[in-house]
Amino acid sequence: MKAAVWVGLGALAALAAAPLVLEPYPLTLLLQFFAYGLALLGLNLLFGYTGLLSFGQALFVALGAYSAAVCTRKLGWHSFELVLGVAVVVAVVVAVPIGLLCVRYVSIFFGMLTLAFGMLFHSFLFKFYLVTGGDGGMLVERPSLFGMRFAEMDKTMFLTRPFYWYALGLLAVGTVVMWRIVHSPFGLHLSAIRENARKAEYLGVEVRRLRLIAFVIASAFAAVGGTLLGVRTGLADPELAYWTHSGNLIFMTLLGGFSNFAGPLVGAGVFIFLQDSLMSFTQYWRLVLGVVLVVIVVLFPRGLVGLAQSLVARLLRRRRDAHAHRNA
Amino acid sequence: MPTLIETHDVSKSYGNFRALSGVTLAVATDEFVSIVGHNGAGKTTLVNVLTGLLRPTSGTVTFKGLDVAGVGPVRLARLGMARAFQLVHIFPGLTVRQTLATAVVSQTGKAFHLLASLDGDAQVRSQVEVVARLFGFEQLDLEARSLSQGAKKLLDVASAFALRPEVILLDEPTSGVSTADKHQIMRVLVDAAKEFGVRAIIQIEHDMDLVSEYSDRVIAMHQGQVLADRTPAEFFGDRELVATVVGKRRARE
């Protein structure tokens, strides 16, 4: 617990200092990492803690990006705090009815229903050209942060300095909030649902209601991540809602490991940098990612963080044994 | 003695099969009732109806005077009825502490405290420790999956007690447990019930030694009906009845 806090603070400090040393390009990748990190914190509440695997999480990421586009472009609301508020409200309003329907089902049925809603939204974005811009998407204008527009900065400068720190701050706040949620009485009930929903009911756990709340929280986190993605690329793209994008989110979760808190964050980071370097290296990058996924699922089902944890545990054990041996 | 649970003319059919027909019974405060009968006599269906999991095809089920037919286990847990299962029903990946805390969180109405710290909750902690001590759990941070079969069974029952229910239904609390452990579990159970102010225990039990030693009343089920509702002395005094309900071999023993 203590160690986790120190690791977290260390990572935060390193990431905060990154703009002073790194080139703009890796910083924009880190920005992408902050966005996906937020979405995955939410997805992990749903999957890792509650045991519901959503194949439609991209819907809410896209909702966030489109909220940013509508606010900045159509309504002329440039305050990013306002954009975030709108994105969260929209996500909640959409998540409640979808969730009410989906949480009645579990396992594959839940997954397929969420996938169906995701596809539905993707078609909507494509077909309702006048509202959504169709396949071209909608532009997202540069928002103001705490009322500041940073008009003197070019786009790269804006994204890699003020917006970078803003996004990092959001990820930090999101991480603390999620940490508290999973360590609350509510979080315990979610874990009980994942382990054995029938037994949980007999212990007075309100299974459906809690699943719904987890679904709504996950959606809100995804939407916040989506606003960051929208600002980063300057575009709300219908591809954000496509099912392969939901697949990427699940890939990241599996890569890092969903049986622990930090796994999805690590998975998001590794995925983004792996994808980027593979793409510049070979046109068969999807093939390589596929192989990586197979290896992870077959050999390290607890993901990279799970692997690291068992390595550390083994190292500590060996050291303790050596110590005991010396004393004997 | 005031009546806690009452069923009146309860029937439950699955298509053409009548699992229960015309079951009328009442359980009062301070009773320990055993339900006995062959496999397929309708015992588990009866418990499922009593715990609100199944809605009876006809008839009424009341708990503390409220109609609870088919209301579901969550609502009944809140009203003060808990249940432990025949097959071990645990949370494999949760620790003993977390398992008991799940019930305590429900009972104290803290399930919607999204940002509160569970570790820092002294009330939950102390209630968990009381239940753990009563049931003899010492290592609270062991995962449930790593416990022995007997301990898993005990944890299942302990978590039901952690709800601090008024009535507890136990579906073969000692099945799959060695004879020595059976008596130990029953003693722990009875003590815990006293300690926690549980007002009635209803159990399904196959072991006739345990039935005669611990219960105040025996309800014998046969082909979905209540064949007899008597004290253990009366029940075991009727050779023919015992033979019908539990089989000839057991009756001769």
Q: Is residue A317 part of a domain?
A: no
What is the distance of C-alpha A217 from the center of its chain?
Answer: 12
- ipTM reported for the complex, 2 dp: 0.88
pLDDT band at B253 (very low <50, low <70, confident <90, very high): very low
Q: DSSP letter at A183?
A: T
Question: What SS3 state is found at A82?
Answer: helix
Q: What angle do CA A45, A112, A249 make, to 5 degrees?
A: 45
B156-197 per-position pLDDT tens digit: 989 999 999 999 998 887 777 777 778 888 888 888 888 888
| 3-class SS of residue B253 | coil
How many degrees, rounded to 5, is the angle at CA B213 between CA B211 and CA B219?
A: 30
For position B251, what pLDDT does the model report?
Answer: 47
CA distance A174 to chain B (A): 12
Residue B251, min C-alpha distance to chain A (Å)? 35
Residues of A in contact with B124 (CB under 8 A): 185
A240 within domain boundaries: yes
Mutation choice for A interface testing from B115, B121, B146 by most A CBs within 10 A: B115
A119 part of a folded domain: yes
Using alpha carbons, select from B24, B21, B47 the residue that is nearest to residue B34.
B47
Task: Quote the pLDDT of residue A271.
Answer: 93
State whether A203 and B102 contact (CB < 8 Å). yes
B184/A104 Cα distance (integer angstroms): 40
Number of structural domains (chain A) is 1
The reported pLDDT for the residue numbered B60 is 93
Closest of A133, A138, A122 to residue A240, by C-alpha: A122
Torsion, Cα of A307, A313, A314, A318 (10° steps): 160
**B160, A195: Cβ pair inside 8 Å?**
no
CB-CB under 8 Å, A184 with B115: yes
Q: Taking CA atoms, what residue in A is nearest to B168?
A: A202
Residue A160 in any domain: the answer is yes
Residue range B111-160, pLDDT digits in tens: 999 999 998 899 999 999 999 999 989 999 999 999 988 888 889 989 99
* Predicted local confidence at residue B81, as pLDDT: 92
CATH number for A149: 1.10.3470
CA distances from A112 to A57, A109, A242 (A): 12, 5, 14
Domain range spanning residue A267? 2-284
Q: For chain B, what percent of residues have pLDDT higher than 90?
A: 48
* DSSP H or E run through A173: helix A162-182
In contact, B29 and B193? CB cutoff 8 Å: no
DSSP output for B8-33: EEEEEEETTEEEEEEEEEEEETTEEE
> Which long-range contacts does A142-150 make (Cβ < 8 Å, 24+ apart)?
A142/A72, A142/A78, A142/A231, A142/A234, A143/A68, A143/A72, A143/A78, A143/A79, A143/A80, A143/A83, A143/A231, A144/A78, A144/A79, A144/A80, A145/A80, A146/A81, A147/A79, A149/A78
User: What would the mean pLDDT of B93-99 be, rounded to a whole number?
Assistant: 96
With contact defined as beta carbons under 8 Å apart, do B57 and B32 qualify?
no
Interchain pair B115, A210: CB under 8 A:
no
Supply the mean pLDDT for chain B.
Answer: 88
DSSP letter assigned to residue A45? I
Question: In chain A, whose CA is at the least distance from the CA of B124?
Answer: A185
Pair of tokens at residue B11: 């029937």
pTM of the shown model: 0.91
User: Which residue of B105, B127, B146, B155 is the best one to mutate when testing the A interface, meaning the one whose CB has the most A CBs within 10 A?
Assistant: B105
Which amino acid, residue B134?
L
Q: Is the pLDDT of residue A1 over 70?
A: no
Residue B24 — very low, low, confident or very high, per pLDDT cuts 50/70/90? very high
Distance from C-alpha of A187 to C-alpha of A191, rounded to nearest angstrom: 6
Residue type at position B234? E
CA dist., res. B1 & res. B71, Å (int): 26
pLDDT digits (tens, 9 = 90+) for A18-63: 999 999 999 999 999 999 999 999 999 999 999 999 999 999 999 9
Is residue A164 one of the residues assigned to a domain? yes
Q: Which domains does chain B have, with CATH numbers?
A: 3-252 (3.40.50.300)
- A296 within a domain of the structure (yes/no): no
Preferred mutation among B106, B107, B140 to probe A, highest tally of A CBs within 10 A: B106
CB contact under 8 A, A185 and B94: no
Q: Which of B93, B107, B117 sits opposite A183 (nearest CB)?
A: B117
Report the greatest alpha carbon distance in chain A: 79
pLDDT of the residue at B181: 78
The verdict on a CB contact (< 8 Å) between A199 and B51 is no
**Above 50 in pLDDT, residue A151?**
yes
Asked if B61 and B68 count as a contact pair (C-beta separation under 8 A), the reply is yes
B83, B111, B119 member nearest A202 (Cβ): B83
User: Cα Rg for chain B, rounded, in angstroms?
Assistant: 18
**Rounded distance, CA B154 to CA A309, Å?**
32
Domain membership of residue A327 (yes or no) is: no
Asked whether the beta carbons of residue A206 and residue B111 sit closer than 8 angstroms, the reply is: yes
> Is B144:B152 a contact under the CB 8 Å cutoff?
yes
Binning chain A into helix, strand and coil, the percentages to the nearest 5 are: 80, 0, 20
**A163-214: per-residue pLDDT in tens?**
999 999 999 999 999 999 999 999 999 999 999 999 999 999 999 999 999 9
Taking the CA atoms of B229, B232, B234 and B235 in sequence, report the sign of the dihedral they define.
positive
pLDDT attached to residue A22: 94
Q: Is the dihedral of CA A308, A309, A310, A314 positive or negative?
A: positive
Report the gap between the CA of B106 and the closest CA in chain A (Å). Answer: 5
Q: What is the rounded distance in angstroms from the CA atom of residue B118 to the CA atom of residue B98?
A: 10
A191/B119 CB distance under 8 A: no
At A55, the amino acid letter reads F
Does residue A52 lie in a domain region?
A: yes
* pLDDT over 70, % of chain A: 99
Residues of B with CB under 8 A from a CB of A: 51, 72-74, 77-78, 82-83, 85, 89-94, 98-99, 101-103, 105-107, 110-119, 121, 124, 156, 159-160, 162-163
The 8-class DSSP code of residue A187 comes to H
- Chain B residues with CB-CB distance to A198 below 8 A: 89
